[in-house]
């Protein structure tokens, strides 16, 4: 079985709140801090079963304060709202990158179904 692609470059762009990742298979993505926060792999967010997942609300302006490497297989993201549990493995980050559009639409639909409106600050 082939192993998942691994990041060869990870750059946090705090001003634009984007995490830019380049994988060794040339896949390149920019994932927003909000997206990474609402799809945190932590049990606090995902639960221990898909039915236990907790919809994350009010994360529009969250930022990443720090990125900590975890061995040769993952990173830990420290968010401005205090959330810092959950390890973002290379395979999980790759899955997020490859399925970004679908996952983002699912998140927006879940917010809509809950009657929640995203509140985005104008950055300019």
- The answer to whether 84 touches 75, Cβ cutoff 8 Å, is no
Residue 3's pLDDT is what?
Answer: 79
| Domains defined for the chain, CATH in brackets | 7-113 (3.30.2020.30)
Per residue in 43-99, pLDDT (tens digit) is: 999 988 888 989 999 999 999 999 999 999 999 999 999 999 999 999 999 999 999
Q: What is the mean pLDDT of the chain?
A: 92
Helix (H, G, I), strand (E, B) or coil at 75: strand
Long-range interactions of 29-32: CB distance < 8 A, separation 24+: 29/96, 29/97, 29/100, 31/93, 31/96, 31/97, 31/100
């Amino acid at each position: 079985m082939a192993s998942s692609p691994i990041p060869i470059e990870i750059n946090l762009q705090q001003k634009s709140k984007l995490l830019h990742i380049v994988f060794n298979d040339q896949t390149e993505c920019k994932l927003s801090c909000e997206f990474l926060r609402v799809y945190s792999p932590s049990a606090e967010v995902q639960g221990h079963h898909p039915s236990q997942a907790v919809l994350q609300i009010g994360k529009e302006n969250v930022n990443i304060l720090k990125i900590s490497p975890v061995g040769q297989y993952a990173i830990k993201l420290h968010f401005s709202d205090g959330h810092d549990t959950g390890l973002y493995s290379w395979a999980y980050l790759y899955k997020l990158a490859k399925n970004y559009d679908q996952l983002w639409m699912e998140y927006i639909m879940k917010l809509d179904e809950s009657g929640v409106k995203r509140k985005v600050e104008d950055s300019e």
